[in-house]
Amino acid sequence: MQRKEQTFGKYRLGKTLGKGYQAKVKICYAPNNKVYAVKIFKRTHSEEKNTKALIQEAGHLTQLKHENLVNLVEILKKEQYIKKNGETYYTMGIVLELCTKGELFDYLLHSGKFTEEQTRYYFKQLISGLQYLHTNNVCHRDLKPENILLDENFNLKIADFGFSARLDGKDGSGFLKSSLGTEGYMAPEINEKKAYIGSAVDLFSAGIILFIMFTGHPPFHKALDSDPYYKLLITDRNSTFWEAHSRNKEKGFFSNDFMNLINSILAYEPQNRITLAELISHPWMKGKCSSNAEIKAAFATRHKQVVEKMDEEKKKKQAEKQNKDNQEISIETNDNENKDKLKQGGNNIIYAAKNKFRSVEDSSQAEIDNLIATYNLKVERFVAPYNEQEDFKQNDIFLNLQPDQILLTLLKHQNEFSQKIALSNDTYKLKCCKTDQNGELVEFNIEIKKNEESNISVITFNKKSGDYYQYLEIVKQIHTFLEA
């Protein structure tokens, strides 16, 4: 008989809030009925690997407590996890404050940019949390709207300390070397694989978030001289940078103080960037700021919009899945071997057994043959190695499937995420593009790599041009059908 309730140690578990490579996050209820969020580490990873990830994320939080951080409640080193189906196993977890109003990212995506007063309110809270971290010798290294949550009063909380580190570095030199973070928010020195100062890269990411909150879009795609927008800042053509961003905006949208602050935060050379102490006393920071009452009123309306749009998306995906299920084509084979697998040609393209990889299995033989012929899939391709320490990005997808299977599935679903697709002749790299709802082109690359240590395939994404939020929506679509 199926259990109606699942538990993790002393906590009763509620709905799932999110899933990642290392763990999933669920609502949990303490014996005193207080509500928290719990990150439960997956048993598919070794205990050593889970322990390392737990220490990485929770280690710094044990010494920290601030109103603008998602604070640690408890570390669960080994607790029994009882699932709904009655299955049980022991694993580790982290209990954290629950932020009921969701990610800052969803408000920007579904309800649009903020007013200058609202932007200032949230940026001050972000800087307050950041200053506390840096004062306590901790840098975050992955600041972005997805890692900023809002509590029940719509106050900002910095979350996800999985990439956090000591500011003084492992060797005490004050420099860090690991290339970590999310591409669109990384400082140029990280993109260029240089040693860097943790406080400087955190502040750089905060500046990008500031720009996005106020405009609804990022200032550039990637902080490198190959990026046309960031190159303007590198080459001291700041006026041209602001002229470009002022198009399609009302006259005087950017104040001189705002432009000066962004220029100071996003400077190419770390030593030329404004410090936290200087930022706090900057003229823009002293402008009119929304009150908490004003934020509560405005963001209650925004929250309703966010929930409605997310519900619409969920229903749309459910309808699409139902439609797909109704149109499934079963593949019948005549011999016992082909009931277990489909093998094309004499090369290394082997497709999955029944129920192991439905996206491929549900294709008709004619469709498979057509894709193989169109994209010359019988050729042997080089699989690039994936180094988790150096290559990991938030949107990566980890699948226990062969690269050929994943490639075929991507090609089968290509019309769902790309209007035009180009496959490399000798690697598992796809160049894709799609026109977003505003008529602008979003260009991005997908590459299938292999983690040689675990023998897991990894699908990586790299945005080349276009709106960042529309790009993330496309990536979410791909996650949906690959992880089905």
Domain positions in the chain: 6-96, 104-303, 331-482
pLDDT at 68 (0 to 100): 98
Token pair 């990873």 is at which residue?
45
pLDDT at 331 (0 to 100): 38
Point out the catalytic residue in the list 106, 142, 160, 227: 142
Is 60 exceeded by the pLDDT of residue 255?
yes
Q: What is the DSSP letter of 132?
A: H
Is 90 exceeded by the pLDDT of residue 445?
yes
Task: Answer whether 104-303 and 331-482 agree in fold.
Answer: no
pLDDT at 267 (0 to 100): 97
Structure tokens at 433: 């593009």
The model carries a pTM of 0.73
Query: Directed axis angle between helix 198-215 and helix 104-111, to 10°?
Result: 30
pLDDT at 122 (0 to 100): 98
pLDDT at 354 (0 to 100): 28
For the domain bounded by 331-482, which CATH number is listed?
A: 3.30.310.80
Going by C-beta distance under 8 Å and a sequence separation of 6 or more, which residues neighbour residue 229? 219, 220, 221, 241, 244, 245
Asked if the 6-96 domain carries CATH number 3.30.200.20, the reply is: yes
Cα 146–chain centre separation: 7
Q: Give tens-digit pLDDT for 40-67.
A: 999 888 888 889 889 888 888 999 999 9
Please say if 142 is a catalytic residue.
yes
Mean residue pLDDT of the chain comes to 86
Q: Smallest Cα–Cα separation from 158: which of 135, 137, 133?
A: 133
- CA 282 to CA 273: how far, in whole Å? 13
Q: Give tens-digit pLDDT for 386-409.
A: 876 556 676 788 888 888 889 988
Counting residues of the chain whose pLDDT is more than 70, the rounded percentage is 88
CATH superfamily for domain 104-303: Transferase(Phosphotransferase) domain 1 (1.10.510.10)
The 3-state DSSP class for residue 154 equals coil
Least confident of 17-26, 34-43, 127-136, 321-330: 321-330
End-to-end CA distance of the chain: 26
E-strand ranges in 140-181 read 148-150, 156-158, 165-166
Going by C-beta distance under 8 Å and a sequence separation of 6 or more, which residues neighbour residue 204? 185, 186, 187, 223, 265, 266, 273
Q: What is the DSSP letter of 427?
A: B
Q: Give tens-digit pLDDT for 331-366.
A: 344 444 443 433 343 333 323 322 322 344 445 677
Q: What is the sign, positive or negative, of the torsion defined by CA atoms of 230, 289, 467, 446?
A: positive
Cα 377–chain centre separation: 30
**Phi/psi of residue 12, each to 5°?**
-80, 140
